Amino acid sequence: MQTMELGRTGEQVSQLALGAMLMGTSTGEDEAFAILDRYLDAGGSFVDTANCYAWWTGPGNTGGESEKVLGRWLTSRRGKVFLATKGSAWVNDPARFRDQPGEPRYSGAAGETLRRELDASLRRLGTDHVDLYYVHVDDLATPLEETLEALAGLVAAGKVRHLGWSNVRTWRLERIRALCERHGWPAPVAVQQQHSYLRPRPGANTRSIVDDEQLHHLRHNPELTLVAYSPLLKGGYGDPARRAHPVMNEYRGEDAEARFAVVADLATQLGVTPNQVVLAWLLHQTSPTAVTLIGPRTLPQFEETLPALELKLTGEQLTYLDSAGA
C-alpha cells in the first residue's frame, strides 16, 4: 500500500484510509476487528472515525459506538495506527432527529464544546492523543478565533498532533488559514470532503463536496491534503439500483450518466469491477494528490477494494476517464 505525506508535516500516511463509521453499529465488533486486522495486514495505517458515529443507524445508537469499538481493538495496536477522529457534530437528542429530513442540531465548535468532546473521544478510544482531529461540520455561528484558539490549546496540551476541517467551503478555509498565520496557531493540514469520479451537477450544494474551485485551491496549497470520503457513492458505481440513494442528489444528470457508462466500459475491458476502476482512478490522481477514504460495512466489501491498489491505469485509460462527460 502506498503512503503519502500529510500536508507538509513530514508525516507519512496510507493513501488508502479506512473509515470506521459503521463499526459498532451496522458492522458488529467481530467483523469490525476482522476488517481492521486485514487493513493492517495489507499495509494500511490510517484509521478514521468521529465521535458521532453512528447514531442514525438505528434505535438505541447514540454516537460513540465506533470510537468504543476502536478503543477495544487499539489496545495492543495503537503504535501501528495513524488515528483520526472528529468533533463538533455530536447530536444530543438522536431519537428526535433520526427519521427527520435535513441536518440535525449539531453541538458546534465552541471552545468548551471541543475540549469536552475531545476528552470524551480519548476516553472511548483508550488513548491519550489522536493524530488528527477535525472540526467535523463547519460552524458558522461560533467565532473562528474561539474555535482556533481552543484547537491550538489541544495541540499544545499534546492531546492532538495535527488538525483538519471537514464539510467546509473554500472561502472559509482561507479565512481559517489566515487567522492561524496571524495568531501563530497551528493550521489545518487536512480537509475531508466528499470526492469521487463523478462531478457535482451545476447548482449543487458543494459545502461537503469538492468542486472545481476547491480542487484549484488544493492544487496551489499542498500544505493541505484532501481526504476524499464516500468515493464509491454508496455503491452507485457497481449497482445501478443504489443510484437512488440521496447521496446522488448532487450528481444526477447527463454528465453523471456519461461517466457511469465510461467506468462500466473500462471495467469490462480490464476484467475488474467499476468500484475498483474508480478507486484506482482516485489513487492515480496527482493534482492534487488525495487520501482515499473507504468505509466498508463487511469484510468482503473491504476485500473487493484491495485489487484497486494493484490496478495500474495507462495514460490512455486515464484520459478516457477524464474526458468523459455530457
User: CA–CA separation, 93 vs 321, rounded Å?
Assistant: 44
Residue written as grid cell 470520503: 229
What φ, ψ does residue 290 adopt, rounded to 5°? -150, 150
User: CA–CA separation, 8 vs 6, rounded Å?
Assistant: 6
3-state secondary structure of 69: helix
Burial 15-35, CB ≥16 within 10 A → b, else e: bbbbbbbbbbbbbeeebbbeb
Show Cβ contacts of residue 37 under 8 Å, excluding neighbours closer than 6 positions: none
User: CA–CA separation, 2 vs 108, rounded Å?
Assistant: 35
End-to-end CA distance of the chain: 34
**Helix or strand (DSSP H, E) at 47:** strand 46-48
3-state secondary structure of 59: coil
Question: Residue 115, exposed/middle/buried by CB under 10 A (0-12, 13-18, 19+)?
Answer: middle
Amino acid at 12: Q
- Respond yes or no: is residue 53 known to be catalytic: yes
What φ, ψ does residue 77 adopt, rounded to 5°? -130, 5
**Helix or strand (DSSP H, E) at 133:** strand 130-135
User: CA–CA separation, 226 vs 303, rounded Å?
Assistant: 24
Q: Which residue out of 53, 106, 197, 251 is catalytically annotated?
A: 53
Residue written as grid cell 472559509: 172
By C-alpha distance, which of 294, 295, 236, 229 is closest to 260? 236
Residues designated as active site: 53
